[in-house]
Structure 1
Amino acid sequence: MPVNSSTFFGGVLSLLFSLLLWKVSFSLSLDWLGASVAGIVEEPGKLMALFLVVNITKYRYILNGLLFGAAVGTGFATFESAGYALRAALADTDLMLDVILIRGILAPFSHIIWTSMSAGILWKIKGAKKFEVSMLKDARFLKVFGTAIVLHMAWNSPIEIPFYGKYLILGSIGWIVTLGLIQSGLKQLKEEKLNILKHERLNM
């Protein structure tokens, strides 16, 4: 599945799943969390969209997961930003442009890396095996996925730090986790390449 298709369809599906989960959150009376409840709702929604590609054999590597996660996160952020921009445009055109600019600048620090890290760790746990729901109970997955949820909740919290400090700090934490998974992905490819070379030498 091409990345551009994953971005569009993944974005649409993640929005639909998130809308369903929003209804669940309302029934559970989680509105006391304010805007932070989005972390609990939207991160699982985006993850659910990734289940459509998790079992495609040729996309079994950690880097595949990171890429698909980033694509779905990008699609989700694009549609979400479009909604915010439209709402702002109804009030003021300049406000709409500000919304687009700010959300565009902050995009690499939010949905893109949150979904990427969640997908990356899931692909790492799954490896070449078929996806099983039990993998979602793996401590490694829960740790990274939980981090994504907490980062999202903190991002939406009313706490503010001058000069967009809150977003830069949270984004940096997300990137540290993501870069660690990228390193794991590169190591995985290196080891597989060495195994292929070893196998070829044995068959010479």
Structure 2
Amino acid sequence: MTLWLRIFLVGLTLWTATVVVTAWTENSNLVPTVVLFGSFLVPVTFVVWAYGRDRSPRVTVEMMFKAFVVGGVLGVLGASLLESWLIRPSIVMYVLVGLIEEGVKLAALIFVTRHVKTRTTMDGVILGATVGFGFAAFESAGYAFNALFTAKGLSLSQLVETEVLRGILAPVGHGLWTAIAGGALFAARGRFTVPVVLTYLGVSLLHALWDSMTAIAIAITLVLTGRPWQFELLRIGRVPRVTPWQVHVFTVLNWAGLVTISLVALVWLWTTVRSGRRQREIVSQ
């Protein structure tokens, strides 16, 4: 059994046991353990998996740890500061969030690798993914902590549901987007060339589309299945009641959009990795 799989299975077992014991004993002292295990399990597993990929000897465990922790923390702090003035949800807000979060992660990657002399595309992909997964882990911990508090008191079930959903989606989120940006940055030897800027804008767009997919799915559902009385209520500022069929259409559109965004990013990463391997083969000849 490979190392990353052992880490995942052991971590999943410990997290499940902690959830069960917390629910059984109602011991709130165990809540931080549930939050940390659930938020870090998938990101750490993927970082260990990435460490075994086509990296150079220059990418050490120490560098990976630094990229995950320092890069992740700097990323969430930078995003929190820059996003603090974004209040009202809108299309512009989603675009700005994408630009800010992808920008701070790229900046964090530049900071933690500032002393690296020789850069390859594959090293950039791996270190970029590590920074992205670090960002995702700390961000998920915040979301899980907030999900714990409800109007009726503490809710362990909401905390667990949040962690499971974010854990499932983690591999096609922050880590994937920053891996693409990191590969482009290292391919350009750390310089902000036109391809690097275009890559940054591209992953920021994917990020914005991902965050706004719920709103997009609602809009498309209304266009396809909206009733005149629903549009009339919306016109006067009231939220109309939705039909069961509209709920089904929304769910399909929302998940179809997320899957499409993920596939685009995965294909993009695959082409980046393929290009990096070709460059390495040419250099080694």
TM-score (norm 1): 0.81
Matched, 1:177 2:274: no
Aligned AA (2:165) = I
Aligned AA (2:198) = K
How far is the alpha carbon of 1:30 from its aligned partner?
A: 8.0
Structure 2 residue runs without a partner (length 5+):
1-61, 218-250
How far is the alpha carbon of 1:13 from its aligned partner?
A: 1.1
Distance 1:98 1:35 in 2: 24
Residue number in structure 2 paired with 1:57: 117
Matched, 1:159 2:220: no
CA-to-partner distance for each residue in 1:46-94, whole Å, 9 max, x for gaps?
A: 0110112055024x11001001110000000001111110111122211
How far is the alpha carbon of 1:144 from its aligned partner?
A: 1.4
How far is the alpha carbon of 1:190 from its aligned partner?
A: 1.1
CA-to-partner distance for each residue in 1:22-55, whole Å, 9 max, x for gaps?
A: 24xx28x886434453202111010110112055
Match for residue 4 of structure 1 among 48, 52, 65: 65
Aligned AA (1:9) = V
Residue number in structure 2 paired with 1:198: none
Give the aligned length.
Answer: 182
Q: Is the 8 A contact 2:99 2:201 kept in 1?
A: no
Question: What are the equivalent positions in structure 2 for 1:84-103 lying under 5 Å apart?
Answer: 84-91=143-150, 92-103=155-166
Residue number in structure 1 paired with 2:200: 145
Distance 1:20 1:105 in 2: 27
Structure ID, larger Rg: 2
CA-to-partner distance for each residue in 1:144-185, whole Å, 9 max, x for gaps?
A: 111100001011112235272221111111111111110011
How far is the alpha carbon of 1:2 from its aligned partner?
A: 2.8
Q: Is the 8 A contact 1:21 1:45 kept in 2?
A: no
Distance 1:165 1:79 in 2: 27
Residue number in structure 1 paired with 2:130: 71
Q: 1:81 to 1:37 in 2, by over 3 A?
A: same
Residue number in structure 2 paired with 1:19: 80
Q: Is the 8 A contact 1:69 1:119 kept in 2?
A: yes
Q: Is the 8 A contact 1:36 1:156 kept in 2?
A: no
Aligned AA (1:62) = T
Distance 1:109 1:44 in 2: 18
Question: What are the equivalent positions in structure 2 for 1:118-133 lying under 5 Å apart?
Answer: 118-126=181-189, 131=190
How far is the alpha carbon of 1:142 from its aligned partner?
A: 2.1
After superposing the two structures, state which structure 1 stretch, 61-70 or 165-174, moved more.
165-174
Give the SS at the match of 2:216.
coil
Residue number in structure 2 paired with 1:202: none
TM-score (norm 2): 0.59
Residue number in structure 2 paired with 1:199: none
> Does 1 or 2 have the higher relative contact order (CA < 8 Å, sep 6+)?
1
Aligned AA (2:127) = F
Q: 1:98 to 1:31 in 2, by over 3 A?
A: closer
Distance 2:77 2:102 in 1: 12
